[in-house]
Chains A and B, each alone.
Chain A
Amino acid sequence: MSKGSGDKAAEIRRLMATEGPAIEENTKGFNRKRREAVADLENYEELRTRAREIKEDAIDRLPELIEQLREAVEDNGGNLYVADDAEDANRYIREVAAEQGADSVVKSKSMTTEELEVNDALETDGVDVVETDLGEWVVQLADETPSHLIAPAIHRSQESIAELFEEMFDPADPPETADELTSFAREKLGERIRDADIGMTGANFVTADSGTLAIVTSEGNARKCAVAPDTHVAVTGVEKILPSTDELSPFLELLARSGTGQDLTAYVSLLTPPVDTPTVDFDDDETPLSEREADREFHLVLIDNGRMAMREDDQLRETLYCIRCGQCANSCANFQHVGGHAFGGETYSGGIGTGWEAGIEGLDTAAEFNDFCTGCSRCVNGCPTKIDIPWINTVVRDRVNRGAEPEGYDFLVEGLTPDEEPGGLDLDKRLFGNFETLAKLGSATAPVSNWIADAAPARWALERVAGVDARRDLPEFQRETLVDWFERRVSTVPDPTREVVLYPDVYTNHVQVDRGKAAVEVLEALGVSVRVPDVRSSGRAPLSQGMIATAEDHAHDVYGALAEHLDAGRDVVVIEPSDLAMFDREYGKFLPEASAERLREHSYEIMEYVYGLLENGADAGALRGSDGEGVAYHAHCQQRTLGLEAHTVAVLEDLGYDVSTSDVECCGMAGSFGYKDTYYELSMDVGDDLAEQFSTTETRDRTVVASGTSCLEQLDALLSRPSTHPVELIAP
């Protein structure tokens, strides 16, 4: 049986059908509002930089800050307990409940308490626990788990909540509208809060100088949970400590914007407990509030549960900078279609969920959903603390690969896979990770290699052995590579304005050779002298499979091959955006800083380079212009993260094309992702958003252009009309 009809594919299919529509609508709404909100914020980048610095410093000084916080909390009259793990935390909280003789606890939303499963622990002792955040209450009633970091019931529609309430409570007049459902919940939960013995909250930030908790909410339930009962237990991860209240502002200004696109949520509680608010007994009709006691008890339970070990881990440490805004889920095309019940672990979901689950639960849990991150990088620019979320996913994938036991079939690819990876690597990962070797062999034996690869028995074997979905067309290798073609070609540009090395990325060199030829022609037409040396592939393919050592090996070779060209003052021009993104982002982790910076500074995306040439006086008349031809353009995900979509649009518009752009985060193919039979249907579902945008009455007659290889392959699968790279459109 292939994986395409296996358990995981079936579960993805089920979630796409049931929870997908509500998740898609809600996450895309958050994502759109976030983009608008941060665009309006003048000092957005400054705030991100500041937030990052503060987190780096706070995590670095964490042991010292914990002690400072302990002193502040105890001075204020509260208690601080650092729990080693979930069991330790639950034991402490159960003891507090027992000492209070508590039989009911009301809670405001806290992912950290989900991590502890504290509700189950308290219920063992007969303590009744009620979630008071409306979404969290829905999840509790339905006996589900949160599907999103900040919007736990994001997978449920209004109708399904109405049905749930009717089923659970059988009310005389069942609530249906959002207003009615909210009033119903408010009333039910109001009674529970009124009678509760203990209120439990989380905390988004805790300041070591004053012992203040910052709790960011909209509904007001955290405010009630903290003051209606006499005892307040706050539970939060050790990483939430900030040195002082002076550091709060950047986070408060970024958190809601990054999550839901609001400037601020309705309430930011800044509690320095035990608070002065008098305790309340709503049946008391005698004593004015000012004469009532404020006899309150406060416990702050800080959770380690793997975090102090993450702090010592050079790769996972960044995860601790996460402020749980949910941006990386909202901006993720895969998450938008399946939600956190697929793209999530025991507690945490979305791109950063991988880091949390790896650190808290372990690699096995992270391995179950880590593949949903395709490394598209659309979450990177929106992370309020600048966490390299794709890198964390890559690191975890690498560790999962290395932890795996060798299985069968390895002998089949041994000769084809000259990589640096251990024997247990999944065969599909090894196959896609060594794409360059395959491509070389494919070109050398084309067209026979294409005929064989496409033959039914070969496709059956590929799917069965390596999980390559038989519904996908395979890349068609060209017999003559770009490098070969260029070598045989006489190329002279008199008095060149610039000298360029056109980087022969593996796709352009072996598969989409025509776009390489078009790039050479465009550059030469603009007076640039071009070289196409035989340089190794960038390492993007192995990196996306989590084969970090192999990718690093590529980085050293590529830099070695390009260094002399850089010394000679030549610019490096790249056609494939994912390879340029490698140079720009990941090479910084593999090469000495000066080398990475040098390559980054002198590398350009082809259309970005054309834009620069035209801006500097090159003759646009040398290119193929148009008199208003309609173009539908999909920029590559990583290209957009690098801020290079606008250059292509500007060049096309300068040349007289009428350009309409897509606004989906990703085409869904994402390199090898869409080829894998487990993910084929998800990939097509994500791609359908793009297909829809390019099939409206306004766009359906436009010429389709896209910058990435896999985007072009996906568009070919999605649309009946052909698609092409923009440089082919403008080639003379």
Chain B
Amino acid sequence: MATTTTNPTLSTFEESLADLGVDSTRTTAEAFGETLADIVRDPAVGVPLPFDVEYPEGVTVDPTPADLERAATGVTPASYGVANYGSVLLPTTDTGAELVSLYPTLHVPVVRADDILPDLPEAIDRFGDAARGEDLSAVVATGPSATADMGELVLGAHGPEAVHVVMLDE
């Protein structure tokens, strides 16, 4: 956690992420590439981000399916964060955000710091408008993939075993 913040919603989000065992880093648009480069495990893939930022060189943007299968990190945008749960709302895109957030062992969602909402109903309200209007699909993701079916809690069942949230100040 790089920057201290006075925004209570944002600090709640950071606390919730910490409770989930999820790392988080706050960064600016200018420093984004450098910050991300420190976070990703190679090989890393990503989908185009709807923010005014540039990917660092090591990340393969718009990967092939074979790139995706080899990747250790997937970087995708998150439309919103949910402060009290530490959740991120991951929109499905025709660039394959759903796959990129799901297959690699480390998922790095990027969310604008201004898009952290206090609670789930607010996020679902916004999702609802887009679902009705644009047939949007999304995933509310809270921490890494997990299972308790093998006798005790294990992180990384079918999805990522770790999540590192990047909060972006634009």
Binding site for B on A (CB under 8 A): 76, 132-135, 138, 151, 153, 157-158, 161, 178-179, 181-182, 185-186, 189-190, 193, 207, 209-212, 218-221, 223-224, 227, 244-246, 248-249, 252-253, 260, 263-273, 275-278, 280-290, 292, 294
Contacts and interface: CB of A to CB of B under 8 A. Distances in A.
Given A178-B151, A219-B147, A272 B158 contact: no
Contacts of A288: 62-64
Contacts of B120: 249, 252-253, 264
B139 A267 contact: yes
A189 B158 contact: yes
Interface in B47-105: 47-48, 62-69, 85, 87, 92-100, 102
A104 to B, nearest CB: 17
Contacts of A292: 65, 96
Given A253-B120, A265-B142, A210 B131 contact: yes
A219 B156 CA distance: 7
A223 B154 contact: no
B38 interface: no
Interface of B: 47-48, 62-69, 85, 87, 92-100, 102, 120-121, 124-125, 127-128, 131-132, 135-154, 156-160
A266 B143 contact: yes
Contacts of A157: 151
Contact of A178 (B48, B63, B150): B150
A276 B159 CA distance: 20
Given A218-B146, A244-B128, A277-B92, 19 more contacts: A134-B157, A179-B154, A182-B154, A210-B132, A211-B135, A224-B159, A227-B102, A245-B127, A253-B120, A269-B137, A270-B127, A270-B137, A283-B66, A287-B65, A288-B63, A289-B65, A289-B96, A290-B95, A294-B94
Contacts of B158: 132, 186, 189-190, 193, 219-221, 223-224
Contacts of A220: 102, 145, 157-160
Contacts of B140: 252, 264, 267-268, 270
Contact of B124 (A218, A245, A278, A285): A245
A185 B151 CA distance: 13
A282 B141 contact: no
A282 B128 CA distance: 32
Given A224-B102, A252-B124, A76 B157 contact: no
Nearest to A180: B150
B65 A275 contact: no
Q: Which 9 A-B pairs have the closest CB atoms?
A: A220-B159, A158-B151, A245-B128, A289-B96, A219-B157, A135-B149, A285-B66, A134-B149, A220-B158
Contacts, number: 202
A288 B62 CA distance: 6
Nearest to A286: B64
B2 to A, nearest CB: 26
Nearest to A291: B62
A285 to B, nearest CB: 4
A273 B137 contact: yes
16 contacts: A134-B147, A138-B149, A158-B152, A181-B150, A218-B146, A249-B120, A260-B148, A267-B142, A268-B142, A269-B137, A270-B127, A277-B93, A283-B66, A288-B63, A289-B64, A294-B94
Given A218-B145, A270-B131, A223 B67 contact: no
A273 B92 CA distance: 11
A278 B64 CA distance: 11
B66 A282 contact: yes
Nearest to B138: A270
Contacts of A245: 124, 127-128, 131-132
Residue from B48, B87, B94 whose CB has the most chain A CB atoms within 10 Å = B94
B156 to A, nearest CB: 7
Contacts of B139: 223, 267-270
A249 B124 contact: yes
Contact of A182 (B94, B124, B156): B156
B128 A263 contact: no
Contacts of A223: 98, 102, 139, 158-159
B116 to A, nearest CB: 16
A282 B68 contact: yes
B77 to A, nearest CB: 14
A512 to B, nearest CB: 44
Nearest to A137: B149
B90 to A, nearest CB: 9
Residue from A132, A151, A268 whose CB has the most chain B CB atoms within 10 Å = A268
B98 A277 contact: yes
Contacts of A283: 65-66
A360 to B, nearest CB: 26
A178 B148 CA distance: 8
A76 B135 contact: yes
Residue from A153, A248, A287 whose CB has the most chain B CB atoms within 10 Å = A248
A665 to B, nearest CB: 22
Contact of B137 (A134, A185, A193, A272): A272
Nearest to A209: B132
A278 B132 CA distance: 21
Nearest to A193: B158
B88 to A, nearest CB: 11
Contacts of A182: 147, 150, 154, 156-157
A721 to B, nearest CB: 38
A646 B92 CA distance: 50
A275 B94 CA distance: 9
Contact of B131 (A218, A269, A272, A294): A272
Contact of B85 (A248, A264, A281): A264
A285 B67 contact: yes
Contact of B47 (A153, A158, A221, A289): A289
A158 B99 contact: no
Residue from B87, B97, B121, B124 whose CB has the most chain A CB atoms within 10 Å = B124
A395 B93 CA distance: 49
Contacts of B148: 151, 218, 260
Contacts of B160: 220
B157 to A, nearest CB: 4
Contact of A212 (B131, B141, B143, B150): B131
A278 B94 contact: yes
A267 B147 contact: no
Nearest to A223: B102
Contacts of B67: 285
Residue from B124, B135, B159 whose CB has the most chain A CB atoms within 10 Å = B135
Contacts of A282: 65-66, 68-69
B152 A289 contact: no
A134 B150 contact: yes
B21 to A, nearest CB: 12
A263 B20 CA distance: 11
A272 B138 CA distance: 8
Contacts of B152: 158, 178
A265 B85 CA distance: 10
A157 B98 CA distance: 33
